[in-house]
Amino acid sequence: MQVYRLPVLSDNYIFLLHDRDRHTAAVVDPAQAQPVLQQLQALGAELIQILITHHHSDHVGGNQQLIDRFPQVKVYGGAEDRGRIPGQQVFLQAGDRVSFANRTTSLTIFPPTTQTKPANCSAATPYLLEAVADCLKVLPPKW
């Protein structure tokens, strides 16, 4: 599995996980769809999972366009964000397990400072990526 870091907006990244054997991909916090679509086309991959750390627009802004392009995609997010993440189908809680590329990791949910906001938003995406990288035995480029 390969992990790609796609820069978006002025200060964010989208992380795309690519399973070369199955030609599938998962994406973490797609703030915009276009960079994801371009990378998927370059890889010849089909998007099967969208993983959302929280509901803010700079994390979910590309969801609907990606869902429109890949109607079978599963959208994962915290149970506390029910109704706030476009297209969310899977409502995760602490200890739930997520699989991709024939690998599985369990999730930790940060104690919220509001109903749905992680205690440290800047750590939310890196934590999820570290969990994927560590538990699935991959390291993102330039991390």
> Where in the sequence is the domain holding 79, given as residue range(s)?
2-135
Distance CA 46, CA 61 (A): 19
Residue 143 lies inside a defined structural domain of this protein = no
Exposure pattern of 27-63 as b/e (b: 16+ CB <10 Å)?
A: bbbbbbbebbbebbeebebebbbbbbbbbbeebbbbb
Amino acid symbol at 1: M
Residue 12 lies inside a defined structural domain of this protein = yes
Amino acid symbol at 18: H
Residue 142 lies inside a defined structural domain of this protein = no
Q: Between the CA atoms of 102, 105, 106 and 109, what dihedral angle is there, to the nearest 10 degrees? A: -120
Residue 83 lies inside a defined structural domain of this protein = yes
- Overall domain count for the chain: 1
Position 130 pLDDT exceeds 70: no
Specify the higher pLDDT residue, 132 or 41.
41
State pLDDT tens for residues 71-84. Answer: 999 999 888 888 98
**pTM of the shown model:** 0.77
Residue 141 lies inside a defined structural domain of this protein = no
Q: What is the CATH number of the domain that holds 58?
A: 3.60.15.10
